[in-house]
Structure 1
Amino acid sequence: MRHFDLSPLYRSTVGFDRLFSMLDNAASETPSYPPYNIERTGENAYRITMAVAGFSDSELELEAKEHVLTIRGEKPESDADREILYRGIASRAFERRFQLAEFVRVDGAHLENGLLHIDLVRELPETMKPRKIEIGSGSQKQIENTAH
C-alpha cells in the first residue's frame, strides 16, 4: 500500500491544512471497487473515468451536493433463476465519493463501453482570477498634517 508523507508540505504552506488532511484520509481509506482514473483534460477541466462494466445507465446514480460528488451503482437481484459456478465479474452495489474543490461543478456524464465518464469544470469568479497590478512611478504624494 502506498503512503505519502505530507509533513514537509505542512511546514511550507499556510491555509492548506484541510486539503492535506483530506489527502491523508483518502490515502488511508481508499476502497478498491470500482477502479477509476482522474485526469486533467484542459486548464480548468477534469474527467473522472470509472470502470462500471455490467452496469447500465439506469443502475447508476450521480449526485453532486455541497462539494461532494457521490456515485452509486446497484444491480437488481436477478441471479435466482441461474446457477453460477464461478463469479469473477463483480456485480455488487457500490458507492464512491469524491470531494470537489470550490468552484468545481459537474459538467456532464456519459456511459461508454463499460466506462462512466464524468466531466468536471472549474469556474473561477472574476474576483478570484489573477490580475496584473500596475506599479506607479517614482512621484510620491505628500500628506499634509492638518492638526496644530
Structure 2
Amino acid sequence: MRTIDLSPLYRSFIGSDHLASLIDAATRAEKQSTYPPYNIELLADDKYRITMAIAGFSKDDVTIEVQENTLNITGTKNGEEKKADERKFLHKGISERNFERKFQLGDHVKVLAADMENGLLHIDLERVIPEAKKPRQIEIGSSRLLENK
C-alpha cells in the first residue's frame, strides 16, 4: 500500500515553515509538472526570490497576480503560433508553451517587485510581520504604571 503524497500541499509554500521545504524535498513526486523550471532563494531572514526560466516570453506574455495568499504566474503565447508553424525546426528544445504556476504564500508575505532579464523572471518577496504580531518585552512592575494612569 502506498502512502499518501502530501508534496503538492507543501511544494510551493514560501515564507511559511522550513519544515515544508524539507518535506517537499523528501517526498517530491516524479510526475509533477516541471515547466517552467524555477528556483526559490532565501536572500535574507525574511526576503525571498523566485526565479523562473521562461525563455521566449516577453513582459507582455506574462501575468503575475496575487490573490489572498496565492501567487499565480501565467505565461501565454498568442501571436507566435503562426510564426512557429512557418518555421521548420531540425531540433526544438526551447519549449514556448503556455504555463500557469501557483505558489502558496505564507502569512504576511508580500510581493515586492518583478523583473525579467535574459529569459529569467525574478519575483522578490518579503515577509512583513505587523507590530501587533511581533514579540514584545514586558518590564517587571509595568502593572503599577498602568494603574497610576
Query: Structure 1 length normalisation: TM-score?
Result: 0.70
Secondary structure, counterpart of 1:64 in structure 2: strand
Specify which of 69, 88, 94 is matched with residue 93 of structure 2. Answer: 88
Listed as ranges, the gaps of 5+ residues in structure 2 are: 7-15, 142-149
Q: Structure 1 stretch 108-117 or stretch 27-36: which is displaced more?
A: 27-36
Q: CA deviation at 1:88?
A: 0.9
Classify 1:132/1:34 alpha carbon distance in 2 versus 1 (closer, same or farther; 3 Å): same
Rounded Cα–Cα distance in structure 2 between residues aligned with 1:130 and 1:100: 22
The answer for the alignment partner of 1:109 in structure 2 is 114
Query: Are positions 1:51 and 2:56 aligned together?
Result: no
Matched ranges for 1:1-148 at <5 A: 27-28=28-29, 30-76=32-78, 77=81, 78-135=83-140
Q: Which has the higher contact order (CA 8 A, sep 6+)?
A: 2
Give CA deviations for 1:28-63 in whole Å, capped at 9, x if unaligned.
Answer: 474211111111112221110111111111111111
Rounded Cα–Cα distance in structure 2 between residues aligned with 1:30 and 1:106: 25
Secondary structure, counterpart of 2:86 in structure 1: coil
Give CA deviations for 1:50-101 in whole Å, capped at 9, x if unaligned.
Answer: 1111111111111100100011112231212212222111111111000001
Rounded Cα–Cα distance in structure 1 between residues aligned with 2:33 and 2:84: 25
Moved over 6 A (4+): none
Rounded Cα–Cα distance in structure 2 between residues aligned with 1:118 and 1:81: 34
Query: Structure 2 length normalisation: TM-score?
Result: 0.70
The answer for the alignment partner of 2:13 in structure 1 is none
Secondary structure, counterpart of 1:80 in structure 2: helix
Rounded Cα–Cα distance in structure 2 between residues aligned with 1:30 and 1:46: 23
* % identical equivalent positions: 52
Listed as ranges, the gaps of 5+ residues in structure 1 are: 7-15, 137-148
